[in-house]
């Protein structure tokens, strides 16, 4: 059948206009590492041990090790079991991962000695459903949780505080911020810290910055944890990132020495995006990152491609590889903050499907950055989900009976915490002699959606104030005092409790968060005991009742009304 030149199918036109066709897709280029996980250029698994040292790793002799090989061989792998476990057929290990009757401890014991190429070999045998099944068992903490971003396109501290309070109320266990203008950091970090303690007690906050600056803010108690401590899968890219496995390991110790929780960050696609994947697949290189993190002794890892998600998202099987990398982190007994934090598609359908491999089985943090502000205000260049998706998210939880860490909250409660957060920050700024927050700004914060709904601040004055915070050595304790003096006793007490946790170090253990009652909950006292149907974490009881609530639910008792 011939078509008339120029005449198009109406259906084609409609399909061309679909959001998904605005996304970027590329052909695989395995030689350059532009391939998800199936590449002929990845090494064949091998390991040889001599005199208690690994002398060959995935086809490379020790004399030819780059610093990643050296670090992995000397710190990550269990030398005692390496030769034995690497000899187990990959199909057997893959089945152990999926089979609920093989316990988490058993599977971890095998995993401890596996080389990067062997780990890849195992997960290549698993489809995405099998990966999810394994994830259910392998995550470290039994109870899933969630993390949000709270940022502002104008680096407006009041917005950050108000949205932090709402996010905390909705259920996020961790909150993250970053800046458009780096010099604004002290004020915005303070806003996050204060706002985060208003919604509910026990939320942990971080401010993503350059490594040494981030550590400094943490040391002062203005942030509670750190996450954007990046590691990379090739030596050359790691060096471009101005670090090595040794500097990162030292940094990890530095954080722990100040009682500050931290995790590394890695993700498929970073090496190819920075120009040098050394011909290896994205997942192979990510596995190296995971093992490097393991060797360093950090408690956890943020991964799931993260800011590079557009890269695996552009190649076939990329989202399967992303699901696999989360699984592998958990298999290596690390806390996993599993991505879903970066915009990667114009299509709502694709945004959800990308997140199902983490949402359905549950991970330590289903999102490592759900945007708790409208995406236009998201200074991480946009998240996979934002505030406009709250009701959809809560509905999907209710539809599938899964706990994604969030719940519906009614408007009056939300407005109340937003106002309190803005007032508390206003009081703190006044006490610390920072540029004032007006009543008009507080009022705006209560009802605002995005940064355009707030009066503009004098940015240059704020930047001077931010510098003053650093010069004067303002600490978290000063924030506690300021809150207490101005009558915000409960917020002050919440913040003091979070700071006090540093003394105990309980938040340093794997997957540690604080409950609403400020009790540390981690992989130690909330160990994942999933062993098949009827076991592990189940959405039931009081929590399930909470998650049944949505914005509009018709009452069964009186169908002409809605459940209040």
Query: Which residues are designated catalytic?
Result: 147, 149, 176, 227, 302, 341, 368
> Is residue 221 at the binding interface for another protein, with CB under 8 A as the rule?
yes
Closest approach, Cβ 403 to another protein, in A, equals 22
> Is residue 99 at the binding interface for another protein, with CB under 8 A as the rule?
no
| 184 vs 188: CA distance, rounded Å | 6
Query: Which parts of 25-84 interact with another protein (CB under 8 A)?
Result: 25-26, 29, 32, 34, 66-67, 70-71, 74-76
Contacts with another protein: how many residues (CB under 8 A)? 116
Rounding to the nearest 10 degrees, give the CA dihedral for residues 471, 477, 478, 481.
180
What DSSP string runs through 263-326?
EEE--TTHHHHTT--TT--HHHHHHHHHHHHHHHT-SEEE-SSGGGTTTGGGSTTHHHHHHHHH
| 509 vs 258: CA distance, rounded Å | 14
The residue from 39, 501, 511, 528 that contacts another protein (CB under 8 A) is: 501
The total number of residues shown for the chain amounts to: 564
Query: Which parts of 439-498 interact with another protein (CB under 8 A)?
Result: 459-460, 463, 475-477, 480-481, 484-485, 489, 492-493, 496
Nearest C-alpha neighbor of 153 from the set 186, 183, 180, 184: 180
Query: Which parts of 309-348 interact with another protein (CB under 8 A)?
Result: 309-311, 313-315, 333, 342-346
Closest approach, Cβ 92 to another protein, in A, equals 22
Closest approach, Cβ 399 to another protein, in A, equals 26
Q: Which stretch binds another protein (CB under 8 A): 95-103, 141-149, 168-176, 213-221?
A: 213-221
Closest approach, Cβ 220 to another protein, in A, equals 8
Question: Which residue number, 116 or 407, has a Cβ lying nearer to another protein?
Answer: 116
The residue from 121, 166, 174, 211 that contacts another protein (CB under 8 A) is: 211
DSSP summary character for residue 76: I
Where are any strands of DSSP class E within 21-154?
Answer: 47-50, 53-57, 60-61, 147-149
Query: Which parts of 510-529 interact with another protein (CB under 8 A)?
Result: 510, 519-520, 522-525, 527
Q: Which stretch binds another protein (CB under 8 A): 22-30, 123-131, 158-166, 169-177?
A: 22-30
Closest approach, Cβ 71 to another protein, in A, equals 8
> Is residue 103 at the binding interface for another protein, with CB under 8 A as the rule?
no
Question: Which residue number, 59 or 275, has a Cβ lying nearer to another protein?
Answer: 275
The residue from 90, 268, 273, 426 that contacts another protein (CB under 8 A) is: 273
Where are any strands of DSSP class E within 427-548?
Answer: 513-514, 520-521
The residue from 509, 528, 530, 537 that contacts another protein (CB under 8 A) is: 509
Query: Which parts of 356-415 interact with another protein (CB under 8 A)?
Result: 375-379, 381-383
Helix locations, 124-184, DSSP H? 128-138, 157-170
Judging by DSSP bridges, how do beta strands 147-149 and 520-521 pair with one another? unpaired
Which helix (H) or strand (E) segment is 477 a member of? helix 476-485
Query: Which parts of 284-313 interact with another protein (CB under 8 A)?
Result: 294-299, 307-311, 313
Query: Which parts of 246-265 interact with another protein (CB under 8 A)?
Result: 246-247, 249-259
3-class DSSP state of 351 = helix
Closest approach, Cβ 401 to another protein, in A, equals 30
The residue from 182, 400, 440, 563 that contacts another protein (CB under 8 A) is: 182
Question: Which residue number, 404 or 476, has a Cβ lying nearer to another protein?
Answer: 476
- Is residue 381 a contact partner of residue 531, using CB atoms and an 8 Å limit? no
What does each C-alpha distance from 462 to 118, 152, 459 come to in angstroms?
52, 14, 5
Closest approach, Cβ 32 to another protein, in A, equals 5
Judging by DSSP bridges, how do beta strands 261-265 and 335-337 pair with one another? unpaired
Tokens matching residue 370: 């759900």
Q: Which stretch binds another protein (CB under 8 A): 87-95, 176-184, 186-194, 534-542?
A: 176-184
Closest approach, Cβ 185 to another protein, in A, equals 11
The residue from 79, 88, 125, 219 that contacts another protein (CB under 8 A) is: 219
- In SS3 terms, 359-417 reads as HCCCCCECCEEEECCCHHHCCCCCCCCCHHHHHHHHHHHHHHCCCCCCCCCCHHHHHHH
Edge-to-edge strand list for the sheet holding 147-149 = 204-207, 174-177, 147-149, 368-371
């Amino acid at each position: 059948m011939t078509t008339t030149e120029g005449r198009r199918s109406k259906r084609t036109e409609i399909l061309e206009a679909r959001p998904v066709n605005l996304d970027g897709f590329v052909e695989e280029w395995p030689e350059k590492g532009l391939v998800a996980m199936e590449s002929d250029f990845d090494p064949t698994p091998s390991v040889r041990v001599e005199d208690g040292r690994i002398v060959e790793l995935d086809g490379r002799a020790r004399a030819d090790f780059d610093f990643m090989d050296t670090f992995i061989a000397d710190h990550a792998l269990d030398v005692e079991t390496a030769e034995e476990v690497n000899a187990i057929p990959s199909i057997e290990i893959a089945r152990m991962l999926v089979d609920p009757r093989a316990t988490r401890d058993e599977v971890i014991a095998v995993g401890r000695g596996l080389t990067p190429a062997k780990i890849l070999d195992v997960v290549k045998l698993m489809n995405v459903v099998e990966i999810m099944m394994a994830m259910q068992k392998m995550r470290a903490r039994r109870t899933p949780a969630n993390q949000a971003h709270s940022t502002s396109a104008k680096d407006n501290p009041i917005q950050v505080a108000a949205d932090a309070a709402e996010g905390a109320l909705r259920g996020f266990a961790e909150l993250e911020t970053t800046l458009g203008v780096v010099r604004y950091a002290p004020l915005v970090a303070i806003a996050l810290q204060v706002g985060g303690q208003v919604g509910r007690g026990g939320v942990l906050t971080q401010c993503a910055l350059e490594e040494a600056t981030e550590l400094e803010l943490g040391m002062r108690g203005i942030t509670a944890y750190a996450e954007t401590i990046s590691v990379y899968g090739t030596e050359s890219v790691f060096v471009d990132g101005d670090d090595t496995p040794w500097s990162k390991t030292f940094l990890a110790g530095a954080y722990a020495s100040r009682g500050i929780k931290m995790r590394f960050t890695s993700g498929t696609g970073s090496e190819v995006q920075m120009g040098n994947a050394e011909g290896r697949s994205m997942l192979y290189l990510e596995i190296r990152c995971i093992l490097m993190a393991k060797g360093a002794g950090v408690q956890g890892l943020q991964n799931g491609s993260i800011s590079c998600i557009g890269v695996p998202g552009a190649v076939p099987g990329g989202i399967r590889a992303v699901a696999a990398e989360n699984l592998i982190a958990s298999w290596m007994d690390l806390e996993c903050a599993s991505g879903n934090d970066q915009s990667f598609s114009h299509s709502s359908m694709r945004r959800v499907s990308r997140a199902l491999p983490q949402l359905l089985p549950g991970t330590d943090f289903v999102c490592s950055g759900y945007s708790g502000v409208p995406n236009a205000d998201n200074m991480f260049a946009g998240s996979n989900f934002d505030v406009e998706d709250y009701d959809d998210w809560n509905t999907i939880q209710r539809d599938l009976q899964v706990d994604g860490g969030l719940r519906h909250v009614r408007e009056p409660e939300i407005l109340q915490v937003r106002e309190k957060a803005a007032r508390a920050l206003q009081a703190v700024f006044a006490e610390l002699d920072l540029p004032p927050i007006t009543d008009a700004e507080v009022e705006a914060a209560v009802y605002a959606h995005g940064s355009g709904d707030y009066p503009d601040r004098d940015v240059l004055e704020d930047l001077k104030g931010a510098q003053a915070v650093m010069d004067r050595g303002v600490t978290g304790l000063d924030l506690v005092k300021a809150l207490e003096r101005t009558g915000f006793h409960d917020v002050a007490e919440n913040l003091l409790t979070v700071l006090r946790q540093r003394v105990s170090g309980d938040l340093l253990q794997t997957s540690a968060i604080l409950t609403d009652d400020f009790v540390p909950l981690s992989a130690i006292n909330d160990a994942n005991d999933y062993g098949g149907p009827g076991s592990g974490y189940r959405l039931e009881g009081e929590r399930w009742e909470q998650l049944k609530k949505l914005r509009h639910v018709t009452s069964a008792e009186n169908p002409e009304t809605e459940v209040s």
